[in-house]
Structure 1
Amino acid sequence: MEQLILGVINKHVEEKKVIRSGQHGFTRGKSWLTNLIAFYDDMTSWVDEGRAADVLYLDFSKAFDTVSHNILISKLRKCELDEWTVSCVENWLNGRAQRVVISSTSLVGGL
């Protein structure tokens, strides 16, 4: 079921051009490596041209652990995704919680 919904969302995103071409994460055929290569190419070009280049690194590794389900569903609707798909995602997320086990100790947090 997840693969079916993912396919519908991916098709919609591609057809409606919801994601910019510079997006690398969660984009088919792109990854952290393609992002790093594009970044490196831009920075070396700027340095070669004598332009200033400042870099700010942000760690979003935990960003999706705390995303509000209501905000996510709202954004899916704003992207004009069909209501059937949005309802499927909403029903799938309803009542879900994240569980992490560290040294046999279970930590559960609702999202």
Structure 2
Amino acid sequence: TCCGAASFKKPNLDPTTLANFRPISKLPFLSKVLEKAVYEQLQSYIDQNTIAEKFQSGFKSCHSTETALLRVFNDLFLTADSGGHSVLVLLDLTAAFDTVDHGILLSRLELSVGLKGTVLKWFDSYLKDRSFSVNVGSCFSSVSPIHCGVPQGSILGPLLFSLYLLPLGLILEKHKVGYHFYADDLQIYMPLKSSSKGSLNPLLDCIQEVKLWMEANFLSLNKDKTEILIFGNSDSNVLDNCDSAIGPLASFCHPFARNLGVFVDNEFKFEK
């Protein structure tokens, strides 16, 4: 059983809205020691067998938000320098860590990562039969079981979540779009070969399949945090009357957006 502290997702949020809190698990010391030992072995195995998503900058040594932004904007700059236009879609997941399905994760560890036997049984034991209570000040809630999710605040949680997302990279590669992950934030981008709406078909097909995969894996896209920028072209009419699996693209189009903590604009001025 872990005790979850009620922590704000961001400062200055309304404390009366439960969605503004993030559950952070306070785990026992011995649990963290064991998790660290397992983490080191699992990470070593992943590195040796090049299993990790190559375009994931979260939860990875020598990677950060900066490496994610540098790669994406280098590609966008190259397109702009050649006189072309690009579209960038920023996607975010809702409570991603909390909705991970244990059965699917174990299947992923077996089929995509290659864990079997005693090792797989250990992870099955690690995920199941967990419970939690919430601590606010000096008050504690009653204990409730946890049926899904990986613990936020744990050592293994972030790595397990990144492995849960492994098939998503294959989908994005299939549609031949540029992409980059940072934890549960996903950036999808591609050059626009013309101003016709047909040039967006690969992106629309990609978004459709990403959404279907998310639903099948009990993950949910946060439409409130979905944003689109058009680079190298001040006319965003290319998105007009262009419907997608997440809704009309024009409704998500903005002249600037906050991307991994950095305000970016469609003219690369970075002035905001």
Same fold, TM-score > 0.5, yes or no: yes
More helix by share: 1
Match status 1:26 vs 2:46: no
Provide the rounded CA distance (Å) in 2 between the counterparts of 1:7 and 1:31. 19
Structure 2: which 5+ runs fail to align?
1-33, 149-272
TM-score (norm 2): 0.36
Provide the rounded CA distance (Å) in 1 between the counterparts of 2:133 and 2:88. 35
Q: Which runs of 4+ in 1 moved over 6 A?
A: none
Provide the rounded CA distance (Å) in 2 between the counterparts of 1:2 and 1:47. 46
Distance verdict in 2 for CA 1:99–1:18, change over 3 Å: farther
Question: Is the Cα contact below 8 Å between 1:73 and 1:86 reproduced in 2?
Answer: yes
Q: Number of aligned pairs?
A: 111
Report which of the two structures shows the higher radius of gyration computed on alpha carbons. Answer: 2
Alignment map for 1:48-59 (pairs within 5 Å): 48-59=81-92
What secondary structure is seen at the aligned counterpart in 2 of 1:65? helix
Question: Is the Cα contact below 8 Å between 1:46 and 1:52 reproduced in 2?
Answer: yes
Matched residues, percent identical?
Answer: 24
Which residue number corresponds to residue 11 of structure 1? 44
Given candidates 92, 96, 108, the residue that maps to 1:63 is 96
Given candidates 23, 32, 37, the residue that maps to 2:70 is 37
Larger relative contact order (C-alpha < 8 A, sep ≥ 6)?
2
Given candidates 124, 137, 143, the residue that maps to 1:90 is 124
Structure 1: which 5+ runs fail to align?
none
**For each residue in 1:77-103, what CA deviation from the matched residue of structure 2 results, as whole angstroms up to 9, or x when unmatched?**
111124333222211111124655568
Provide the rounded CA distance (Å) in 2 between the counterparts of 1:106 and 1:52. 53
More strand by share: 2
Distance verdict in 2 for CA 1:25–1:109, change over 3 Å: farther
Give RMSD over aligned pairs: 2.4
Provide the rounded CA distance (Å) in 2 between the counterparts of 1:8 and 1:55. 37
